[in-house]
Amino acid sequence: MTAPAIRVAGLSKNYGKHVALTDLNLEVQPGEVFGFLGPNGAGKSTTIRILLDLIRPTAGRIEVLGTDPRTGGAALRERIGYLPGELEIEGRNTARELLGFLADQRGTVAKRRIEELAELLDLDLAKHVGKMSKGNKQKVGIIAAFMHRPDLLVLDEPTSGLDPLLQQRFLGLVREAADNGQTVFMSSHILSEVQDTADRAVIMRAGKLLGTENVEDLRRRSPRSVELVFAEPVDEAEFAGLPGLRDLHVDGRTLKCTTEGEVDDLFKAAAKHRIQSVLSTEPDLEAIFFSLYGR
């Protein structure tokens, strides 16, 4: 059997007296797209920095591509594409020069590949990196992580700063990497960002793992906020008590509620009236946690 791409056992990290991670255990299989979910401060970046040996753990065992990151050195780093959460790119080089330099270090990148990725992400390679916007710097970081087709991609909040169209293009890159047999470990504080690409996800909160989830199940079980506007005022009593419905509030023609699971009953009840508009949004991860795991 092949070794897991990432294996973390009993991982803890304290920053002085502050406990950032407590007894974290997880395994990511080769070829898997794995979502690492949690709100700000949950400990995602800390875990990722330990995987890259940028910081050292307080306790625990870690293997990345079958190797301890503390001893893996350059040979291990070459097999990983890393996109930091807070990307700092400064300097007077153009993006083409910077990426060309990084590509030469890795040795195996066709120059054409950089041009293709830049085209896909709509990045002007002739621009000076120091003068770029946050979004454009993020694109440079994404290209640097993906260009050498590494065995493992470790991406910390990869879509931050990208507009929705580019987020979609980025997710296409993740799917392509997965089709190519690469492993992707990707952190996010938004479920919808990983639900289209990831097979499995773990949810972190305050340095602890709440659970490992099949992403499809997670999506199905997650609550959604729904707002319906009718042509005429409706009576709250018609909707009260419907299965999977909570926080129901009707004010004249507007109905607001939270749904869990199927929305069939709600829509059948609503369809007795003329519906003018429907708005359905994903609540933030905190709300999803509370709904799935309780307070």
Ligand X SMILES: Nc1ncnc2c1ncn2[C@@H]1O[C@H](COP(=O)(O)OP(=O)(O)OP(=O)(O)O)[C@@H](O)[C@H]1O
CA distance 255 to 246: 12
Per-residue b/e over 12-49, b at no fewer than 16 CB within 10 Å?
ebeeeeeebbbebebbbebbbbbbbbbbeebbbbbbbb
For tokens 């270090």, the residue is 105
* Complex with ligand X: residue 15 or 101, whichever CB lies closer: 15
Structure tokens at 243: 């299965």
Structure tokens at 258: 């939270």
Residue 24 within binding range of ligand X, rule CB under 6 A: no
Contact region with ligand X (CB under 6 A), list: 41-49, 109-117, 120-128, 168-176: 41-49
* Complex with ligand X: residue 36 or 230, whichever CB lies closer: 36
* Complex with ligand X: residue 43 or 150, whichever CB lies closer: 43
Positions in 174-193 near ligand X (CB under 6 A): 189
Contact region with ligand X (CB under 6 A), list: 12-20, 100-108, 127-135, 265-273: 12-20
* Complex with ligand X: residue 55 or 240, whichever CB lies closer: 55
Residue 84 within binding range of ligand X, rule CB under 6 A: no
Positions in 243-262 near ligand X (CB under 6 A): none
Distances (CA, A) of 21 to 59, 65, 270: 10, 22, 46
Structure tokens at 152: 């493992």
- Look at the chain and count its residues: 295
* Complex with ligand X: residue 5 or 48, whichever CB lies closer: 48
CA distance 23 to 48: 15
Sequence-ordered list of residues with C-beta below 8 angstroms from that of 230, at least 6 positions apart, any chain: 253, 254, 255, 270, 273, 274, 275, 276
CA distance 213 to 200: 6
Minimum separation from the CB atom of position 275 to ligand X (A)? 38
Residue 42 within binding range of ligand X, rule CB under 6 A: yes
Minimum separation from the CB atom of position 277 to ligand X (A)? 34
Minimum separation from the CB atom of position 55 to ligand X (A)? 8
Cα dihedral 193/196/202/205 (nearest 10): 20
Residue 46 within binding range of ligand X, rule CB under 6 A: yes
Count of residues that bind ligand X according to CB under 6 A? 13
Q: Which of 15, 101, 290, 293 binds ligand X (CB under 6 A)?
A: 15
Residue 18 within binding range of ligand X, rule CB under 6 A: yes
CB 125 within 8 A of CB 145: no
Minimum separation from the CB atom of position 157 to ligand X (A)? 6
Residue 137 within binding range of ligand X, rule CB under 6 A: no
Minimum separation from the CB atom of position 239 to ligand X (A)? 37
Residues that bind ligand X (CB under 6 A): 15, 18, 20, 38, 40-46, 85, 189
